Amino acid sequence: MVICLPRVYSGLHYPSDILAGAAVGIVATVTMAPLLTSLFRRFRFEAMSPARSAAAYMVLGILSLQIATMYELPRFVLKQLAAL
């Protein structure tokens, strides 16, 4: 809410944009949360031995970075490959 109101006030978004984005986020969360929970339970990330926990944290860290940067590097690579 703190981020949304200034964006509407400054004219960057319409209120319907904010509502639609919130709806998409809610639907995505409700859909993906059970799938991710079952995935984590299946691979038992919390029960990994110390020898394998470093690899698990590395994979989750890379995944978090890609989500935070909106998969910028993979998209760039795919665009370059498509241009060939």
Q: Per-residue pLDDT tens for 52-84? A: 778 878 888 898 999 889 899 999 999 999 998
Average pLDDT over residues 44-48: 66
> Are 6 and 34 members of one domain?
yes
Closest to 63 in 3D by CA, of 77, 78, 47, 74: 74
> Are 39 and 56 members of one domain?
no
> Are 37 and 4 members of one domain?
yes
Instruction: Let me know: does 8 contact 15? Beta carbons within 8 Å.
Output: yes
* Domain, as residue range, for 37: 1-43
- The verdict on pTM exceeding 0.85 is no
Domain count, the chain: 2
